[in-house]
């Protein structure tokens, strides 16, 4: 057998300690499967004395990840510190500068600096692997980059944030409101103390930007992702959606539009309505899932745990095993020189059906105003629901539109906002259908 692969782990939190444990617990099967044993020879974290439930005897300690990457006697640096800048970035850059392989779970870093880091890895002839950065334990990077490599990918649709999926699933099944379920998610460790990145869709956007690059061979452009989070989703919307036969999910969607429709890359993260037959409708709780649609393979679905020590460590160690076995793929599927910068498609160009909820004062003529605003902007209604009939009391009018361009609907809603009968700004969500579902 070859000499052991020496690993340095920078960051010993949830993922770093989980990786250490997995390498130890399954060492025999790991070495049998990749033809090489592995040894963690160096680690780094900020607090040396902290009990992490792992035995660090004989392992060299570094006070900083970048120091480990610059000095440790290792073949691979695992960066699990986190963050797009600071120590994480310095650690990865220092490792690549030394031509060491890098494995990271850091989607923020890759979404912001992925291409320049990939270039460094390419120039050094080393791997920059990141299966754990997108959907945790779900092997979607390998699937897209290797198993589906012969396909032209048409579209990627995913539930990419377990926290949001947990919140929306729990709101639907219990009828509790957003704030209440968010608190529970924090108590259970599913959401951070500062949940902004999760509930505002930023974390899902980072993952989508990476997936887009791998699926379509494009440069990563995090600023091109249209992002909406789930803070404004109410149980009212969830219940109305249910009455119309839909579920609300926070989805990440990426699509390359054909030249005949103007071309470009769609990258969006937003809460939307999907039918129960949609492959992502039944993905509940903290689970993640991705649907990839390829021209020859058709639709394929990948589902699993998107976070947590075990699933994330599983993805990291599988990347390390590829390195140990000498398996190597271009970081984003093609050499960085081949990555294309395609224009992004503004959300106003989105064409689809919409869910609209308007809280209005119930008085004669209001519905006629709504109908004429929609008619004047060429938006036709498929279904309308209005409960109760109490003159001069506020009521919700819920509308499902036929397929329309978003800019038309936005103009119609703008007109209505000038109407005194509208009690609050309109609530609008897109309806996402998937072919064959
Ligand atoms: N948690 C998940 O389920 C999950 C899933 C997928 C991807 N990820 C990604 O994995 C990465 C790590 O996440 P995590 O949840 O494990 O974070 P975490 O629990 O907060 O761990 C971060 C670790 O980094 C250490 N650290 C801080 N500054 C450092 C420095 N300058 N040098 C070396 N180590 C330093 C911390 O040290 P101390 O322990 O001493 O404070 C801690 O051990 C992030 O990029 C995250 O997005 C996480």
- Pocket of ligand 1 contains residue 331 by CB under 6 Å: no
Quick check: CB of 252 below 6 Å from ligand 1?
Answer: no
Answer whether 42 contacts ligand 1 (Cβ < 6 A). Answer: no
Relative to the CA of 67, which ligand 1 atom is closest? 32
Ligand 1: nearest atom to the Cα of 203? 47
The rounded Å distance from CA 81 to ligand 1 centre is 4
Q: What class does CATH assign to 2-133?
A: alpha beta
pLDDT of res. 31: 96
In a mutational test of the pocket of ligand 1, which residue from 8, 9, 10, 14 has the highest number of ligand atoms less than 8 Å from its CB? 14
* Tokens, residue 260: 């005949």
Beta-carbon contacts of 297 under 8 Å, excluding residues fewer than 6 positions away, are 148, 151
* Coil vs helix vs strand at 294: strand
Pocket mutation for ligand 1, best pick of 46, 65, 166, 210 (most atoms within 8 Å of C-beta): 46
Topology of domain 348-431 in CATH is Alpha-Beta Plaits (3.30.70)
Atom of ligand 1 nearest to the CA of 44: 33
C-alpha closest to that of 95 among 113, 120, 116: 120
Q: Separation of 203 CA from ligand 1 center, angstroms? A: 15
307 CA closest ligand 1 atom index: 3
Residue 125 Cα to ligand 1 midpoint, Å, equals: 27
Centroid of ligand 1 to alpha carbon of 45 (angstroms): 8
Contacts of 348 (CB under 8 A, 6+ apart): 405, 406, 407, 410
Ligand 1, pocket-test mutation among 9, 12, 15, most atoms within 8 A of CB:
15
Regions of the chain short of the pLDDT cut 70? 1, 388-392, 435-437
Task: Please tell me the residue having the least CA distance from ligand 1 atom 8.
Answer: 105
Please indicate whether residue 11, judged by its CB atom, sits closer than 6 Å to ligand 1.
yes
Q: How many CB atoms are closer than 10 A to CB 113?
A: 20
Q: Choose the CATH number for 140-304 among 3.30.1130.10, 3.40.50.300, 1.10.510.10, 3.30.360.10.
A: 3.30.360.10
Domain with CATH 3.30.70.260 in the chain: 348-431
The CA 361 to ligand 1 mean position distance, Å, reads: 51
**Residue 5 C-beta-side C-alpha neighbours within 13 Å:** 26
Identify the pLDDT of residue 258.
Answer: 87
Distance (Å) from CA 79 to ligand 1 centroid = 8
Reported as half-sphere exposure (CB side, CA atoms, 13 A), residue 190 has a value of 22
Q: Are 404 and 351 in contact (CB under 8 A)?
A: yes
> Does 136 contact ligand 1 (Cβ within 6 A)?
yes
> Given the CA of residue 308, which atom of ligand 1 is nearest to it?
3
Ranges for all domains in the chain classified under CATH 3.40.50.720? 2-133
Instruction: Choose the residue to mutate in 18, 80, 166 for probing ligand 1, maximizing ligand atoms within 8 Å of C-beta.
Output: 80
Active site residues: 207
Both structure tokens of 356? 């609209």
Contacts by 239-243 with C-beta closer than 8 Å and gap 24+? Answer: 239/175, 240/355, 240/357, 240/385, 240/396, 240/398, 241/273, 241/355, 241/429, 242/172, 243/385
Confidence (pTM): 0.96
Q: 213 alpha carbon to ligand 1 midpoint, in Å?
A: 25
| Spatial distance between the Cα atoms of 117 and 120, rounded to a whole number of angstroms | 5
pLDDT score of 151: 97
Ligand 1 atom nearest 18 alpha carbon: 16
Instruction: Decide if 307 contacts 186 (C-beta within 8 A).
Output: no
Chain centre distance of CA 401: 28
Element (H, E) at 145: none
48 close to ligand 1 (CB < 6 Angstrom): no
Tokens at 333, concatenated: 């599927």
Residue ranges, comma separated, of all CATH 3.30.360.10 domains in the chain are 140-304
Query: How far does the centroid of ligand 1 lie from the alpha carbon of residue 17, in Å?
Result: 9
| Ligand 1 pocket, residue 105 CB under 6 Å | yes
Q: Is the CB of 45 under 6 A from ligand 1?
A: yes
């Amino acid at each position: 057998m070859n000499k052991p692969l020496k690993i340095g782990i920078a960051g010993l939190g949830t993922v770093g300690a989980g990786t250490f444990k997995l390498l130890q617990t399954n060492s025999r099967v790991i070495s049998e499967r990749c033809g090489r044993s592995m040894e963690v020879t160096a680690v780094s974290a900020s607090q040396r004395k902290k009990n992490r439930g792992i035995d660090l005897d004989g392992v060299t300690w570094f006070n900083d990840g970048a120091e480990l990457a610059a000095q440790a006697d290792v073949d691979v640096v695992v960066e699990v510190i986190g963050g797009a800048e600071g120590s994480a970035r310095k650690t990865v850059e220092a490792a690549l500068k030394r031509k060491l392989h890098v494995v990271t779970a850091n989607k923020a870093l890759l979404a912001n600096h992925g291409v320049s880091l990939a270039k460094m890895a390419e120039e050094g002839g080393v791997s920059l692997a990141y299966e754990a950065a997108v959907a945790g334990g779900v092997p979607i990077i390998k699937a897209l980059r290797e198993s589906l490599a012969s396909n032209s990918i048409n579209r990627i649709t995913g539930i990419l944030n377990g926290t949001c999926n947990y919140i929306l699933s729990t709101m639907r099944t219990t009828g509790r409101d957003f704030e209440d379920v968010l608190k529970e998610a924090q108590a259970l460790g599913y959401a951070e103390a500062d949940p902004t990145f999760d509930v505002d869709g930023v974390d899902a956007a980072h993952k989508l930007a990476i997936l887009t690059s791998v699926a379509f061979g494009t440069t990563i452009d995090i600023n091109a992702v249209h992002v909406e989070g789930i803070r404004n989703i109410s149980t009212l919307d969830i219940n109305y959606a249910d009455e119309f036969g839909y579920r609300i999910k926070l989805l990440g969607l990426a699509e390359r539009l054909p030249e005949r429709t103007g071309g470009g890359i769609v990258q969006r993260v937003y809460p939307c309505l999907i039918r129960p037959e949609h492959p992502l409708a039944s993905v509940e709780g903290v689970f993640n899932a991705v649907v990839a649609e390829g021209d020859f393979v058709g639709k394929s679905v990948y589902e699993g745990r998107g976070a947590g020590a075990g699933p994330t460590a599983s993805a990291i160690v599988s990347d390390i095993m590829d390195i140990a076995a000498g398996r190597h793929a271009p970081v984003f599927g093609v050499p960085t020189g081949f990555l294309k910068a395609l224009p992004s498609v503004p959300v106003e160009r989105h064409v689809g059906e919409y869910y609209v909820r308007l809280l209005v004062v119930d008085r004669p003529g209001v519905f006629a105003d709504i109908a004429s605003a929609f008619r004047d902007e060429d938006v036709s209604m498929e279904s309308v629901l209005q409960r109760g009939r109490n003159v001069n009391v506020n009521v919700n009018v819920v509308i499902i539109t036929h397929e329309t361009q978003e800019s038309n609907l936005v103009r119609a809603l703008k007109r209505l906002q000038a109407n005194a009968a509208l009690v609050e700004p309109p609530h609008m969500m897109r309806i996402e259908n998937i072919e064959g579902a």
